[in-house]
Structure 1
Amino acid sequence: MSRLFSGLLLGLALLAPGTMHAQEAADARLQPKFEAGLAGGGGWLPDYPAAGQNHVQGLFFPYVIFRGEILRSDSQGVRGRFYNTEGLGLDLSLSGSFPASSADNDAREGMPDLDWQGEIGPALRLTLWQDRTVRQRVNLELPVRAVFSTDWSSVHYRGIVVAPELAYERLNLLAAGARLRVGLGPIFATNRMMDYFYRVEPQYARPGRPAYDADPGYLGTRLQFSYRMPLTERLSIVAGGRLESFHGATNDDSPLFREKWNTSVALGFAWSFYQSEARVASTSSPFD
């Protein structure tokens, strides 16, 4: 999924490390092999999928970009490139999301907080159509990720998320080095992941919030977009949004299921303060 989320993937997916420089989009020949910088931003995000409340979340963090043959950390996040051609790719991808305080959420009042979440797993990319002249393409992306949560004192396995997505990408829209991405797709999750969001254990039951045991299956469908634009060779900004529908969701009868629509918006930046002298050639695809 980039994340099977509480709207929280949006926060990190949009703030993913990496800048795309104007000269890279112009001729995509040589790029710094190693970069370091600072990224940050924030958004108005749902506390969890189908939550009835949004909150402002923000984060600032240092980042590194490494453009290796197999391991890469770049404008598309942290990836292990096991196989990559112009039409087909197989990556090992990582993602994460913000925590949510139950004290600030009416539906979850008195329940444990939702912790920081991290994800890891393979992602298959199939390019269905590409226009190299305009630099745009349509991908079918098939990520399968294991989800973990942590409060920084322990780590817990939270199940598996599958989020196939049809994605449109275009480079250089409105500005050299800019990158637009629009994605649409359903989200499915195993029992552990659904329990994490929707289960109410008997000790947390109260009037209006009965005990509930979640089931695996369909979580919802998301439409999301992001637009990254470089302001200078070292500074870029990113904006994005997400609309999620939970109509027909497997656990729509949970007392924690409050809204059939969630919306998210986010803004961020990335500033590259160091770039190595060593340069590497880009791949055959202008998108990588």
Structure 2
Amino acid sequence: MTMPSIRPSRFAFLMLLVASGAACAEEEAPPPEKPLWELGIGAGVAAFPHYPGSDQTRAWVFPFPYVIYRGKFLRADRDGVRGQLLATDRVNFNISVLGSLPVSSRDDNARAGMPDLKPTIEIGPSVEVHLWRTPSRDMLLDLRMPLRLGITLESSPKTVGWQFEPNLNLDLVDVAGVSGLRVGMFAGPMFANGHYSDHYYTVAPQYATPGRPAFQASGGYSGAQALVSMSRRFSHYWVGAFMRYANLAGASFADSPLVRQKSVLSGGVALAWVFGQSSKTVASDE
């Protein structure tokens, strides 16, 4: 999905949203009180390509701990695990953490004979700017700007470069008046430095074949992405689902022979049993 340029009318609309958010700040309801922590266990199934651009998909069935922590500095919720360095009414500074699963070249046709892709953890700072929200706080629009460094998870860890994914994020709470029903959407471009693109998309001369010519990946624009998620919290259960679409057209590495398809779709569903929560509550939009 290619991201449209911002025409003057759209820019004016965004500025209107920012202005209206500032204007109604005094009338906003305070964030609702929620347990400091919640604990449970769940299982999910997800399907996604081996790596962005792969034409092979795998499905994973996995157990997971359901952990929600709404601490002043440490947060664990649907947006992942992050450290909150600074929070104001308009801006949050966080530490963002993500990860990727390994890819065995024996199981991937495009990478046959090449080194395996190790699992990685990606960590780095993220700035969140609160652009607009309704007085009842049931609709929230943020600009999020995470910058993360990838590090392989192995006996001798190596860095694999930086990725920057600015996006507009819209959260809808208690959708259609249904308590606990939450919908989230975000969209934005992706950028990576040369080291990151090289890790996934370079074909060194020694791994070149008649059907896979040598290719040196470079940094820059890495495509665009959009995600929609839905979840609902019941008294002792939580259920969630997501669908993510990415388009690599125009990416700096789009001509790599390892990019077999430029449209990438992934999704998953999960169910968790929540068996404990704290009696202490804190104000939170999450």
User: Contact 1:45/1:263 (CA < 8 Å) preserved in 2?
Assistant: yes
Alignment correspondent of 1:13: none
Do the aligned partners of 1:49 and 1:262 also contact (CA within 8 Å) in 2? yes
Structure 2 residue corresponding to 1:254, chosen from 253, 256, 265: 256
Looking at structure 2, the residues matched to 86 and 40 of structure 1 have their Cα atoms a distance apart, in angstroms, of 35
Structure 1 residue 226: Cα displacement: 0.7
The unaligned stretches of length 5 or more in structure 1 are: 1-26
SS at match of 2:158: strand
C-alpha change, 1:39 and 1:116, in structure 2 (3 Å) is farther
Q: TM-score, normalising length from structure 1?
A: 0.82
Q: Within the alignment, does 1:274 sit opposite 2:263 as a pair?
A: no
Compute the displacement of 1:149 (Å).
2.0
Question: Separation in 1 of the partners of 2:128 and 2:98?
Answer: 16
- Between Structure 1 and Structure 2, whose CA radius of gyration is higher? 2
Specify which of 191, 205, 217 is matched with residue 220 of structure 2. 217
1:122-171 deviation digits (Å, cap 9, x = unpaired): 11111211113361021111111111122x43322111100000111111
1:8-47 alignment, distance < 5 Å = 29-47=32-50
Question: Are 1:72 and 2:78 an aligned pair?
Answer: no
Distance 1:75-1:264 versus aligned 2 partners, 3 A rule: closer
Mapped contact 1:67–1:280 kept (Cα < 8 A): no
Identity of aligned residues (%): 35
The DSSP-based 3-state class of the residue aligned with 2:106 is helix
After superposition, the C-alpha distances for 1:227-262 in whole angstroms (9 at most, x for unaligned) are: 1112x2221111111111111111111111111211
Question: Residues 165-223 of structure 1, C-alpha deviation per residue, up to 9 Å, x if partnerless?
Answer: 01111111143112211111010011121011101122221111122221111111001
Say which is worse superposed, 57-66 or 81-90, in terms of deviation. 57-66
Residue 181 of structure 1 aligns to a residue in which SS? Answer: strand
Counterpart position of 2:51: 48
Name the CA distance, whole Å, in 2 between partners of 1:221 and 1:238. Answer: 24
- Cα distance in 2 between the residues matched to 1:276 and 1:133: 25
Contact 2:98–2:123, Cα closer than 8 Å, also in 1: yes
What CA RMSD, in Å, does the superposition of the two structures yield over aligned residues?
1.9
Match of 1:241 in 2: 243
Q: Counterparts in 2 of 1:1-288, with a 5 A limit?
A: 29-133=32-136, 135-150=138-153, 152-174=154-176, 175-230=178-233, 232-277=234-279, 279-283=280-284, 287-288=285-286
Deviation, structure 1 residue 94:
1.1
Tell me what 1:8 maps to. none
Cα distance per residue 1:102-141 (max 9 Å; x no partner): 2222111121222222111111111211113361021111
Counterparts of 1:117 and 1:44 in 2: how far apart (Å)? Answer: 18
Cα contact 2:31–2:137 (8 A) shared by 1: no
Partner residue in 2 for 1:14: none
Q: Give the distance between the partners of 1:36 and 1:206, measured in 2 at CA.
A: 50
Structure 1 residues 60-69 or 262-271, which shifts more? 60-69
Q: What amino acid is the match of 2:259?
A: F
**Farther off after superposition, 122-131 or 65-74:** 65-74
| C-alpha distance 110-202 of structure 1, shift in aligned 2 (>3 A) | same
Cα gap change, 1:34 to 1:137, in 2 (>3 Å)? closer
Give the AA of the match of 1:221: A
Gap regions ≥5 residues in structure 2: 1-29
| Number of the residue aligned with 1:19 | none
- C-alpha displacement at 1:28, in angstroms? 5.8
